[in-house]
Chain A
């Protein structure tokens, strides 16, 4: 097998751990509802919200946490969140309808992203806040509101292209938002449309893990709000988007060993760690490593609420080095956030049944074929390196074909396609799986359940169930059967 097994074990909090310790339930579910199957855990979402709220409280900040709906289509998760005091960020007509139907009142909904006329109309009709990307979109909204005699619409101005002083912080270009350099014409348009739109704040969302870039953007927003005030406008919110991240792995040491060994595999100084020698962006040029490891930083201790906390404590270079939270507070601004992945941390898992376990070359990795397509478990699509957990069909394990030693495997999907691999990594499992066992991919609720799933080749997309605990017992229902009344009402 080539040395010690290189595990990347998932970080599991109590609810997911308890679910994985319930093999009979998981097998009953997949026997009845098929493989693959998604399980969501709505109560975890409410706990995660409290962790974000605690960061707000620590910095004395007011404002709303908006769940980025696009990260998961689940009705159960959305309805559970509607029962809290959180908001939701919707990015399509369907998501807006879903949010309204789940019980979110319009004051708790922000509409963002590319918008068609129907989406804009329903948003304005129901008085949700609209985050505007461009001046053109502002004009379009204003025309729509006048033509259909809709109520004055609250808007956020989404900005981009912030510049830092002293050091030039390069940032990826965003296709969303108005460049800060174009602020004047934008504010003039806002003033012209004052009868139909009310600016309530400014927004940005940067696709980056870097604190410094986000701090630069936040400082830029403070300056823009000041500019608004000097014009007599009264917006008071800064919406800093999401991108707070998730810590997927239990053990930072495993992550460090794995990435070092992967580097060496690419350089050819150890046996390959991937199917076909794939380098995940790294390549070997005459003995020197080139390229960049293009994967998610799966071991990420400063993620989610902690990342927000560090961002808020970050000193604003251009404003006397005072922490960003202090500046927001002093200027009497509200802070809005839009976590998606981070709010769904530990909120679900994906189950796939093992169909076949086959030896390939002697001593090489086993071929394990699953009843799931690669797009059903989109961890690889997001560059997340994390091992599945084996849930044996027969927990006693008293079978001849089930081994007791660690094995290396390649995980193949069920499509008739060479490249249908659940992951191109060679995955190490603590023992040889057997047909009928389940592989549980933990922590898939954020973007890795239904964002990429297709029905290609007439294969089913995963069904989804919601699960919750009553005392020591797990209960469940189909995702769209779940309402906040279900757990106490006993709808089973």
Chain B
């Protein structure tokens, strides 16, 4: 397929049937709408393009800036679209909770502004919360901002009413599915698709999914947060249920490992919520039904999110020569030397003094003649074997003598005959009045 612009590749995503062996439903065909295959990687490509498109030319003439409140996929799509049209993009957000997305946005040239946290000493008379101030800045006269306003902009919903929804009907041979299950974020995709499907068949049942209140799933709001969304209308949904982050990851793993669909946690939440909803219905059914859920985006951006919640999924083989293998007895038996004796020892010129602190701290003040190998790098070196000759004595120094003791114990175990840890570290050295220098 040949296109003149990448924006033409937005939409027309595949609808893929999930293997019944994975979901276990006997009477329902479950389909995934693969929005992760949009060119910038998510369902938000559609809304971003539809909201920005009418204003891009004017904004480019005026040298304006695209602005959105987003910490995720909408920001990503808008950053790309702004760049393609010679505009800059600024994302204003409460909190960037996914580090990979934050880095990707910076890579794409976006500016990111994080709003300040809640005041600790509350001023109940303050009426200007940061969001209100943000909106005021946008509406100032002479403002050259192109604010796409995803939570209130009807063109967000429209992108799905005219695109995503009709595509589903077409791929189901002109029939609307019996069930549509959607996560509620901006409510744009769920509202737009639901409207299109119901226009085709008013009997379609729509299940909305929100995040459990104390939990965090990227791209999904809690029920309280959903009320803050202008596009959200509780009447759209026949039911609204909560999903936890554990359940979202469970669903994500099933899609990743068993269906070949590299969905992120939002798609995982939709799959988990869909199966949970449909399982109750399935047993009672006598005729076949169909259901559709949306796979919003891809897994790759959420590795740190998953690692934080499920470290077990990242189990790595143990590496040799790791300080973690040491017993407390080995550490307490590590050869050590006090400040006065260390000064005398250094004066003989024999030991190599290794300062394990960070380069910044080393540069500020250090023992004259020492070399700086930061602890993380030093540990890395030791995995490979002894980094010094056995006949070269070594004095290890860290801030308080704790890390140096562990490494001295490890080097001793690895067969170094004359390594010592500076007792009390650089702090004891300073407190004893021993000289520290800057180079």
Chain A residues engaging chain B, CB cutoff 8 angstroms:
60, 62, 166-172, 207-213, 222, 226, 229-230, 242-243, 245, 252, 256, 259-260, 263-264, 267, 281, 287-292, 294-297, 319-320, 322, 326-327, 329-332, 380-383, 447
Contact = CB atoms under 8 A, between A and B. Distances in A.
Contacts of B312: none
A332 B365 contact: yes
B387 interface: no
Interface in B18-76: none
Given A292-B131, A381-B124, A170 B214 contact: no
10 contacts: A60-B400, A171-B116, A288-B230, A290-B228, A292-B131, A320-B358, A330-B358, A330-B360, A332-B430, A383-B122
B427 interface: yes
Nearest to A256: B213
Contacts of B213: 256, 260
Interface in B215-243: 223-224, 227-230, 232-233
Interface string B196-212: 00000000000000000
Contact of A288 (B117, B227, B438): B227
Interface stretch (B106-114, B253-261, B285-293): B106-114
Between B118, B228, B398, B400, the greatest number of chain A beta carbons within 10 A of the residue's beta carbon is seen for: B118
A245 B130 contact: no
Nearest to A447: B121
A290 B361 CA distance: 47
B344 interface: no
Contact of A168 (B114, B227, B358, B430): B114
A329 B112 CA distance: 31
Given A60-B400, A167-B96, A287-B233, A327 B117 contact: no
A292 B364 contact: no
B120 interface: yes
A11 to B, nearest CB: 16
Given A226-B364, A322-B358, A207 B120 contact: yes
A169 B96 CA distance: 11
B228 A213 contact: no
In the complex, which range does the number of interface residues on chain B fall in? Answer: 35 or more
Contacts of B214: 252, 256
A208 B224 contact: no
B264 to A, nearest CB: 22
Interface string B125-160: 010011110000000000000000000000000000
Contact of B399 (A256, A330, A382): A330
Contacts of A288: 227-230, 232
A289 B224 CA distance: 9
A458 B106 CA distance: 61
A210 B400 CA distance: 30
Given A167-B102, A208-B120, A329-B427, 6 more contacts: A226-B364, A267-B227, A287-B233, A331-B364, A331-B365, A332-B430
Contact of B228 (A166, A289, A295): A289
Nearest to A236: B430
B298 interface: no
A60 B402 contact: yes
A327 B115 contact: no
Nearest to A287: B233
Contacts of B112: 166-168
B216 to A, nearest CB: 14
A208 B118 CA distance: 5
A419 to B, nearest CB: 12
List the 8 closest pairs (A to B, CB-CB), nearest first: A210-B117, A330-B361, A330-B357, A243-B120, A292-B129, A289-B227, A329-B399, A208-B117
B369 to A, nearest CB: 18
B129 A60 contact: no
Q: B-side binding surface: helix, strand, loop or mixed?
A: loop
B331 to A, nearest CB: 15
B426 interface: yes
Contacts of B132: 291-292
A209 B118 contact: yes
Contact of B365 (A229, A290, A382): A229
Contacts of B119: 172, 207-209
Contacts of B120: 207-209, 242-243, 245
B127 to A, nearest CB: 8
Nearest to B114: A169
Contacts of A331: 360-361, 364-365
A116 to B, nearest CB: 22
A320 B358 CA distance: 8
A170 B227 CA distance: 26
Contact of A170 (B102, B116, B233, B398): B116
A260 B224 contact: yes
Interface string B393-433: 00000111010000000000000000000000011001000
Contacts of B430: 332
Given A172-B116, A213-B116, A263 B129 contact: no
A50 to B, nearest CB: 20
A260 B223 contact: yes
A226 B362 CA distance: 11
B224 A263 contact: yes
A207 B359 CA distance: 32
Contacts of B124: 294, 380-381, 383
A229 B358 contact: no
Given A229-B438, A320-B358, A166 B118 contact: no
Nearest to B436: A332
Interface string B69-101: 000000000000000000000000001100000
A60 B95 CA distance: 30
B114 A212 contact: yes
Contacts of A60: 399-400, 402
B426 to A, nearest CB: 6
A464 B360 CA distance: 51
Contacts of A229: 364-365, 438
Nearest to B429: A332
Nearest to B115: A170
Nearest to B212: A256
Given A291-B129, A331-B364, A297 B118 contact: yes
Contacts of B130: 170
A10 B120 CA distance: 19
Contacts of B229: 288
B355 to A, nearest CB: 9
Contact of B121 (A207, A226, A230): A207
B432 to A, nearest CB: 13
B364 A168 contact: no
A331 B359 CA distance: 10
A291 B132 CA distance: 8
Given A60-B402, A171-B116, A229-B365, A294 B106 contact: no
Q: Which of B95, B117, B228, B426 has the most CB of A within 10 A?
A: B117
Given A319-B358, A327-B358, A167 B106 contact: yes
Contacts of B116: 169-172, 208, 210, 213
Interface string B343-380: 00000000000000111110011000000001000000
Contacts of B426: 330, 332
Interface in B281-329: none
Contacts of A170: 113-116, 130
Contacts of B228: 288-290
A287 B119 CA distance: 28
Contacts of A382: 121-122
Contact of A329 (B121, B131, B400): B400
B360 A226 contact: yes
Contacts of A320: 358-360, 374
A231 B359 CA distance: 19
